[in-house]
Amino acid sequence: MNSRVVCYLLGLGLLAAAPAAHAQGITYDCDTAAGHFSELTLPAGSVPFTVSGKVKLNATAKDKTYIPSTKLIIADATETGQPADVYAGFTLGVLPLDPKKAPAGRSAVQILGFSVNGKDDEILPKSLEVQLGTVQPFRLTYDGSTVAVTLGDESRNFSVKASKPIVRLICSTGEFLYTDLQIVAGR
């Protein structure tokens, strides 16, 4: 067989394997020291698109100023390290408690909520009842004007206009494991 045919067949094989590999998504272990943060920016591709996966708290670090937290948002592209003005997504955080005063002697509580522009955040009351490290499934869909966010059985829609939409993951003061993370074009 000549080399062109071999390259063509190899290319077809890679294309056929790509959807199978893509269907599982990626794993991203966002692990930061106390008082530090890490950021991963992913290109979203064409609109509409859906971001889905699961996130789990693996470890916390103690800091007097910052709580362990992670945020996944859809936003307009900005310079690395610069905050987006308009975005929507979710935040998973951990609030320390005094075990002597907390129900069941808990030393911390996991909180999950919708995150909108850093101002209109909404904590889900049911999230306060789950154990630390509970896997949290998520799904965000962007259609060019609205981000639809689903966390478990709770959903909200938020108006977001992004000329160059990206997916941004941020974590601080702990380790958060994202699994089955995928960005898929279409709805």
Is 11 contained in some domain?
A: no
pLDDT for 23 equals 61
Q: What is the pLDDT of residue 14?
A: 32
Express each pLDDT in 98-118 by its tens digit: 888 887 788 888 899 999 987
- Measured between alpha carbons, how far is residue 45 from residues 52, 61, 65, 93, 155 in Å? 15, 34, 36, 28, 23
117-140 confidence digits (pLDDT tens): 877 789 999 888 888 999 999 999
Domain total in the chain: 1
The backbone torsions φ and ψ at residue 136, rounded to the nearest 5 degrees and listed phi first, read -115, 110
Residues 6+ apart with CB under 8 A from 161: 76, 86, 145
Specify the pLDDT at position 187.
Answer: 64
Give the range of the structural domain holding residue 43, as residue numbers without chain letter.
24-185
Read off φ and ψ for residue 120, nearest 5 degrees: -105, 40
User: Is 139 inside any structural domain?
Assistant: yes
Structural domain contains residue 101: yes
Quote the mean pLDDT of the chain: 85
Residue 180 lies in a domain: yes
The proportion of the chain whose per-residue pLDDT surpasses 90, expressed as a percent, equals 64
Q: Percent of the chain at pLDDT above 70?
A: 87
Report the pLDDT value the prediction gives residue 85, as an integer from 0 to 100.
86
Q: Is there a domain that residue 5 lies in?
A: no
Pick the closest to residue 173 from 75, 54, 33, 9 (CA basis): 33
Give the model's pLDDT for residue 148: 97
Q: Does residue 150 belong to any structural domain of this protein?
A: yes
Q: Is residue 56 part of a domain?
A: yes
* Contact between residue 73 and residue 42 where contact means Cβ atoms under 8 Å apart: no
Summarize pLDDT for 77-100 with one digit per residue, the tens. 988 778 888 899 999 999 988 888
CATH number at residue 53: 2.60.120.560
pLDDT given at position 180: 97
Quickly state the pLDDT bin for 22 (edges 50, 70, 90): very low
Q: What pLDDT, in 10s, does the model give residues 61-79?
A: 999 999 999 999 999 998 8
